Amino acid sequence: MSACVARRPGRWRAARGLAGTCLLGVALAGSPALAQAAPPGPHEDVAFDVMNVLSQAGLHDLEDEQWNAYGQTTYISSWKLPFGAPYTNLNGSTNSLLPGHERSYTWSATLFLGARLWPGGEAYFVPEVIAERPLSSLHGLGGAIQNFELQKGGSETPQIYRARLYLRQIIGLGGERQKTDSNPMQLGTTVDRRRLVVWVGNFSVLDVMDKNGVTGDPRQSFFNMAFMTHASWDFMADARGYTYGAALEWFWDDWAVRFAHTLPPKNPNQLPVDFRFWQYFGDQLEIEHDHTLFGLPGAVRVLGYRNRVQSGSFDDAIATFQADPTKNAAACVDFNYGSQNPGAPDLCWVRKDNVKVGIGLDVEQFVARDVGVFLRAMWSDGQSEVVAFNAADRSLSFGAVARGSSWNRPFDVAGIGLGLSWISASHARYLALGGIDGFIGDGALQQATEGVFELFYSLNLFKAIWLSGDFQLLWNPGYNADRGGPVTVIGARVHAEF
């Protein structure tokens, strides 16, 4: 869609451009979003960062980069207020959101290092450190986890790890020439609008797909994971949100088709990765069309996925338990989530090769200069447990995000959104019998829609620092109307880019 791949969240630049000078906006670079680990948003042209400083000193060419280096650090604190619940972790089930007051936080710092190896060939290396304390040990919320940075298995002790290490090869196929600006995980250069891009290595599926330009960089946008991507998209990732695999992007003017073949964790929601590349995997296909509507940019994406993994089916777990009650949650010997409920089924008894599929729609549209709306909806079959992302089988989220140009604070960001998620009938039966999955399971269930309403404002300071305030109202945590809340979560964030 764009000839100008911007240093700020792609479509924002496009919208401003249509209103002003840049006619073609963004497309390819957009904001590479990540999983639980959050995405590097494009930097502002006027940002105070290393590359801009070098460029201004005449020591670096941002238009034709051989390398670049960016960084970010983010601290998010969330306070959950008490809510009423008639029961919590009933009969030894362990995955309730605790009803008392809790504070959660995450701190992350990331380096984004890129280098050009040969014509069209780029290598990226992204080390990262994170420390975290989740609410209720990351239990009790299905699709509406209050902080997108939270990782499974994280700890309060900072952990340094290699988030990404991958090669990207761009193969020009002609068409107009298009600038890609210098950004985290993107070298400044010029590419064909028609091109193939091949990714190989260790990355996040969200670096490649479902890059919504309105919601943009989560570290400047919504706090809740429900707005980072489809809550019910069980894309392959280890416990931190990254995986190994290969992806192919085909850009043809306003169209883009993307395919990724990626690896699952060895056990659901755990860190070790299963490298049996052709036996267990997640395949995803996305088709994107960029458009302008009343002169303002937008995009529509259709995304389908198919996972072939070792996982537990809810119906199988129920049937196994009903046939032999000794095969209950408290008696698990294989990998399990730690339930001590002897009267409940458990997925540990039935893990085998299963296929999970889903299809989703992602729409973004600017409706005014610097004001965009978005909608994501996804249906997953919900027959087997979540392996890599959130405990949701269907999800819908929509909202609006505005930049502060209309109130003379162009780098401020404000947003409002609603996220809803559901579980399948078999998932609900399993939870009602006391079963737990990787995130939820109160010991009983009165099935309901889990939802979150969120309102945030990010205040830009000194060009590269944002202070954000956030309000979230969550209801029916864990899809359980018995413990419906609502639950109020107040958040604050400090984010800096360099």
Strands (E) located in 369-430: 371-380, 394-404, 409-422
Eight-class DSSP state of 146: S
Q: Could you give the CA distance from residue 4 to residue 129 in angstroms, rounded to a whole number?
A: 32
Instruction: Check residue 55 for interaction with another protein (CB under 8 A).
Output: no
CB of 200 to another protein, least distance (A): 14
Tally of CA atoms within 13 A in the half-sphere of 56 that contains its CB: 9
Within 68-87, the residues that bind another protein by CB under 8 A are: 69
Question: CB-based contacts of 218: which residues, under 8 Å, 6+ apart?
Answer: 33, 34, 38, 39, 148, 149, 227, 228
In the list 67, 75, 79, 259, the residue contacting another protein (rule: CB under 8 A) is 67
Candidates 31, 72, 183, 202: give the one binding another protein (CB under 8 A).
202
Judged by CB under 8 A, the chain residues 123 through 142 that form the site for another protein are 125, 127
Angstrom distance (rounded) from CA 148 to CA 154 = 13
- For residue 469, the cross-strand partners are 457, 492
CB 41 to another protein: min, Å: 22
Is residue 65 within the footprint of another protein (CB under 8 A)?
Answer: no
| Binding residues among 263-322 for another protein as defined by CB under 8 A | 266, 271-275
Of the candidate residues 165, 285, 319, 357, the single one contacting another protein (CB under 8 A):
165
- Choice from 62, 76, 163, 350 touching another protein (CB under 8 A): 163
Nearer to another protein by C-beta: 163 or 452?
Answer: 163
d(CA 388, CA 152): 10
The CA distance from 191 to 27, in Å, is 12
Structure tokens at 257: 């088709």
Q: Which is nearer to another protein, 121 or 342 (CB)?
A: 121
Output the smallest distance, CB 32 to another protein, in A: 18
**Which segments within 328-370 are labelled E, that is strand?**
351-368
**Residue 329 DSSP symbol:** G
Nearest approach, Cβ of 388 to another protein (angstroms)?
A: 13
# residues near another protein by CB under 8 A? 27
Length of the chain: 498
Among 160, 257, 293, 461, binds another protein (CB under 8 A): 160
**Angstrom distance (rounded) from CA 324 to CA 318:** 10
Q: Is 161 in the site for another protein (CB under 8 A)?
A: yes
CB nearer to another protein: pick between 54 and 367: 54
| Least distance between another protein and beta carbon 166 (Å) | 12
Q: Which stretch binds another protein (CB under 8 A): 111-119, 166-174, 248-256, 366-374?
A: 111-119
Contacts of 294 (CB under 8 A, 6+ apart): none
Residues 219 to 248 in contact with another protein, rule: CB under 8 A: 238, 240, 242, 244
Q: How far is CA 281 from CA 9, 91, 244, 389, 456, in A?
A: 31, 35, 10, 14, 36
Note whether 251 binds another protein by CB under 8 A: no
**Interacting residues toward another protein by CB under 8 A:** 54, 59, 66-67, 69, 113, 115, 117, 125, 127, 159-163, 165, 202, 238, 240, 242, 244, 266, 271-275
